[in-house]
Structure 1
């Protein structure tokens, strides 16, 4: 485990070698005087590189009047800068076969691009220009407002999106930052104007709040030079600041049990049933991960076998966990025909009560660990997944766990630990969200 210390210029965080002594991966970190952090992973044999620009602001940082602003701003930063139009931004990366996009979460925003290694300087320049030098015109705000309203309407037509939104609203409250939807509502997006979005941009998109993570065939020193040039427009990197540390838990945000349902003209009923769990820094998250995988993480999982294979009650059934700095939930999601809803809920509750009382079996423990280990390693086979690992480690966790260390923590999970977690979590009061025909 490497802690992301807040001082210093450049340091090597980890180096991996093959059996012959050749370096297969090297992670290095540089902190600029402005507080901007640059973390890279050199991957032997790769011909691509992926860059991510991470900002420690998300939907939970918005006031009620700014609901949806983080996501709105994410869209707007693709609309043009003082040097590039929206078309210029698209053409620059399309011309080299690059892939680029962005996403907004509840606790951060990320802009990313994947390119051939030789085109990495171009990707750095384009993303640096976008996040530091956007002009955000009134015309762009009005045009993108309609796009976002269409996106909200699209999500409103997706039963899975609707039920998870409803579940979050019940769990944390419709007016609380964690309970609100990331995209905002039609009313909140309609009310946002250019002045408010611009102030939000100027306040949050500062060097000390950002991380540039890059993985692939690269040279760290060259990446740092390109970042200094690309992000230095308009003296954006001027001044001294300490990087802002990860969001800490502090006072725990409690989850509210209860039931909520809404009627929609869908063919199926979609259900999410869950309970309060742990924040992302809780060491019990590894036992919960094994439990979640054994319970509903694949086709061999207990819920899939019981609900789909044996009883034929539903096509889609899975369990999930969501972890934030100061809160978390675990849940089960099912889509079924309306006539089968009662039996589905009875079966899910029965399985959860069994796990709470008796834990999981030896075979389920082995399969759960194996699935987590395999998913972890296979998920790090490309530069994009490595970039995400670096960005989250720096921005969210303040530590970079070596792959072997994560595997060791998974392997160390015992049946007793899983049983204790199951007994604690699944004995809590339910949060139930139901969406479908009356």
Structure 2
């Protein structure tokens, strides 16, 4: 039964309709479906999340998770690569994917009337991709250029080196893109084995937000996504203990790009809340301590910020800075001084209030 438009509802009914909490169901095969119904929009965003990423890459196959993600867009039994791209773009929608340390996501954004098209395309690429040998060889060239592009971008490369230093030799320290040598040796059988091992019902979360009711999303998920049920994959090896490390790479450029920080808590740990407050106070936005003290007051850098990344097994807290080599010692001294000051003096009540307010606003916006 079709719901009446919001314009025909009372203010109380509208308020109730707009405040629906996310809903969660588990399908018979173990796939989890999570939705947030937002009836006042005309669009739907859908993500098929796989709880596997570059941390699951074998050392001899670094980059296989990311490469596999690319290959899901290179042709199925029903669609070639162009038809996959054209299927949603021709409707004004978007289709894309990304690979992280411990997740891979395939997502679409479409008008609500095109829900079935998006689900059909997503389910088709994840179930029926053919991994044609000629496409694999062609894509190796694409990913190789992506790796080289990273190497030529010091502001991005420094974050890779930072994560590598925190976690090596653990797979969490592997580059998501992999290495030219490991990518060049990937073969079709290895891709299929990796898919079989990790693309199973237990590792899948289907998330949708927008003008789609939960029961409808459950219905189309049951009808279209048929991920196999297989035994759980072994857990990742234990993480290395925190240790002081310094890693440097020299490049013929005018600035120094620096990351400093340490391991942090996983995303489900209660410590994530004070860490979010710390990150917001220290290095988020133009009013943050680092921005004010290093850029605004002393002009030591153009770009300086802190950041927090939380994963299933671990996390990291870091500070990024780009500056002239001659200014680096003073800038690092000021960053470390801020850590010492916060540890020694904490936050004032006023700082805590405004930082919480800023954080809440950022989360909502």
Q: Contact between 2:98 and 2:104, CA under 8 Å: does it hold in 1?
A: yes
The equivalent residue for 1:199 is: 193
The equivalent residue for 2:222 is: 228
Question: How big is the shift at 1:156?
Answer: 1.0
Question: How big is the shift at 1:251?
Answer: 5.3
The equivalent residue for 1:124 is: 119
The equivalent residue for 1:330 is: 317
Aligned pairs for 1:83-122 (under 5 A) are: 83-122=78-117
Structure 2 unaligned segments of length 5 or more: list them: 1-9
Q: Contact between 1:170 and 1:257, CA under 8 Å: does it hold in 2?
A: no
The equivalent residue for 1:268 is: 255
The equivalent residue for 1:373 is: 360
Normalising by structure 1, what TM-score? 0.76
Name the SS for the 1:178 alignment partner.
helix
Question: How big is the shift at 1:32?
Answer: 2.1
Q: Contact between 1:35 and 1:241, CA under 8 Å: does it hold in 2?
A: no
Can you list the C-alpha shifts for 1:384-420, whole angstroms capped at 9, x where unaligned?
A: xxxxxxxxxxxxxxxxxxxxxxxxxxxxxxxxxxxxx
Say whether 1:257 aligns with 2:244. Answer: yes
- Of the three residues 286, 289, 299, the one matched with 1:299 is 286
**1:365–1:349 Cα change, 3 Å:** same
Structure 1 unaligned segments of length 5 or more: list them: 1-16, 379-438
The equivalent residue for 1:219 is: 213
Separation in 2, partners of 1:249, 1:74: 20
Question: How big is the shift at 1:18?
Answer: 7.0
Q: Contact between 2:39 and 2:212, CA under 8 Å: does it hold in 1?
A: no
- Bigger drift between 183-192 and 309-318 goes to 183-192
Q: Contact between 2:63 and 2:177, CA under 8 Å: does it hold in 1?
A: yes
Normalising by structure 2, what TM-score? 0.91
- Bigger drift between 136-145 and 359-368 goes to 359-368
Which structure exhibits the higher relative contact order, with contacts defined as CA atoms closer than 8 Å and separated by 6 or more residues?
1
Question: How big is the shift at 1:260?
Answer: 1.1
Name the SS for the 2:317 alignment partner.
strand
Say whether 1:319 aligns with 2:315. Answer: no
Aligned pairs for 1:3-14 (under 5 A) are: none
Name the SS for the 1:258 alignment partner.
coil
Q: Contact between 1:66 and 1:188, CA under 8 Å: does it hold in 2?
A: yes
Could you list the structure 1 runs, at least 4 aligned residues long, displaced by more than 6 angstroms after superposition: 247-250
- Bigger drift between 66-75 and 27-36 goes to 27-36
Can you list the C-alpha shifts for 1:264-296, whole angstroms capped at 9, x where unaligned?
A: 122210011112332222212111111111011
**1:319–1:156 Cα change, 3 Å:** same
Question: How big is the shift at 1:145?
Answer: 0.6
- Of the three residues 154, 163, 166, the one matched with 1:159 is 154
Q: Contact between 2:67 and 2:143, CA under 8 Å: does it hold in 1?
A: yes
Separation in 1, partners of 2:191, 2:237: 28
Question: How big is the shift at 1:72?
Answer: 0.2
- Of the three residues 47, 56, 60, the one matched with 2:55 is 60
Separation in 2, partners of 1:260, 1:189: 24
The equivalent residue for 1:73 is: 68
Separation in 1, partners of 2:99, 2:107: 12
